[in-house]
Each structure stands twice: as structure tokens, then as C-alpha cells.
Amino acid sequence: MQTPVRAVAWLTLGTTLLLSACAHSLTTKVTRFNQWPADAAGASYRFTAPDPQRDLELQAYQGQVAAELQQLGLRPAAAGETPRFMVDVRADLSEQQRQRLVPVYSDQWVYVPPWRDAQGRLFGGHWVPDPMGSRYVGDRTVTQTVQRSQLQLRISESGRDNASRIVFEATAVHEGREDDLVEVVPYLVRGTFQDFPGANGQVRRLSFDLPRR
């Protein structure tokens, strides 16, 4: 027996709404500067030494960056090899107080006076919600705590005279309310390397879909 077309339509709509309810997005602001060399593919790189106080955490972030670098054709420097590129990764979480104006609405009530119907029956007066709905009465200032997750990535190239120059520098930022840095960093890394290396001095706002907790 075939499923009615209407039932299929409702099933499809229900599935779409369910998927929409199970996902939300994370927005990042990425600022990039670069003088990326055209012959970088195949070159070696090495990460700068992490902060001893955050060694394991930072190594995890470096691993995510390493996966992106290998997608670009770069390879980790072998033991004893002088790398062409040095990669510095820093990730931090801070809190900031932000103020914003929030509209205030008041629920109004109106009085309905006594009245008689066509049969002469008397109905007493009573109060009812205003049919025009809530009314805007002004704004109030609300202070909110905003968590700022930030990833900074800097890639330096060693020259023939052993001097180094920065060839890629990026800062990716996400601001939210209850985010853990370890959960946000993968998206900051993805935003940093999207359409790498990008235009010099480029600022982009990127949105990533992610499942709800």
C-alpha cells in the first residue's frame, strides 16, 4: 500500500523541523594578513615550544592546525632538520562585560462595561487583556557576561641569512555566553584556514553549523 502524498509531505516537514531543532550555528570573525610564498608546497614546518603550563592543551590545538597544514602540502620537519616554517599557535578564553538596551513591554488590561444581549440578559462588567497586545514603554540596560574565545596563528619563514619573516598571521574570534574553549577551537582553526591564504588584510565572518549539546 502506498503512503498518501499528504502523509509523505507532513513526514518530510516534520523531519526538517526536527533536524533544524537539533542544530545551531557558531560564528567566527577571522582577520588575516599574509605574504604567503608560492613555492610553499612540500616545505617543512615545526611548532614553537608550547607554554609548559598548558602543554597538553596546546598540543591538542597544534594537532588540529597540523591537519590543516598537511592539507596545504606542508610536512612536519624531521628530527634534526631545519624547518622552513615555524608555526606559533595561541588560544585563550576571556570574559567581558557588555551592556545593551532591551525593549520593555507592558501588558495592558481594558474594562468591558456591563451589557445586555438580545434576550435582555445582563452580563456584568469585567477586565480583559488589551486586544492590541503588549505596549512598548521604553528600554532598560542589561549587562551580560560574554565569553571571548580567540585563536592566534603566526607562521614565520626562515630566510637564507637565518633571519625570519612573518608570512601568515591570523586571529579568529568567537563571542558567546557559555562556550568551552576546547569545543570552539576546532571551528576557529577551520575559519583560519578556509580559502587559505586569503587576501592580505582580509576580515571575514564565517558561520558553522554544529549539533546542539
Which residue ranges make up each domain of the chain?
A: 23-100+148-211, 103-140
For 47-60, the pLDDT digits (tens) are 988 766 668 888 89
**pLDDT at position 7:** 36
- Give the residue carrying C-alpha cell 594578513: 33
Under CATH, to which class is 23-100+148-211 assigned? alpha beta
Instruction: Indicate whether 9 pLDDT > 50.
Output: no
User: In whole angstroms, what separates CA 60 from the centre of its chain?
Assistant: 19
Distance from C-alpha of 59 to C-alpha of 49, rounded to nearest angstrom: 9
Question: How confident is residue 19, by pLDDT bands cut at 50, 70 and 90?
Answer: very low
pLDDT at 44 over 80: yes
Give the pLDDT mean for 174-202: 89
Quote the longest CA-to-CA distance of the chain.
Answer: 105
In this model, does residue 139 exceed pLDDT 50?
yes
Q: Does pLDDT of 153 surpass 90?
A: yes
The answer on pLDDT for 11 being more than 50 is no
User: Taking a C-beta distance cutoff of 8 angstroms, is the pair 15, 21 a contact?
Assistant: no
The model carries a pTM of: 0.67
Q: How far apart are CA 197 and CA 42, in angstroms?
A: 16
- The residue-averaged pLDDT of 135-148 equals 82
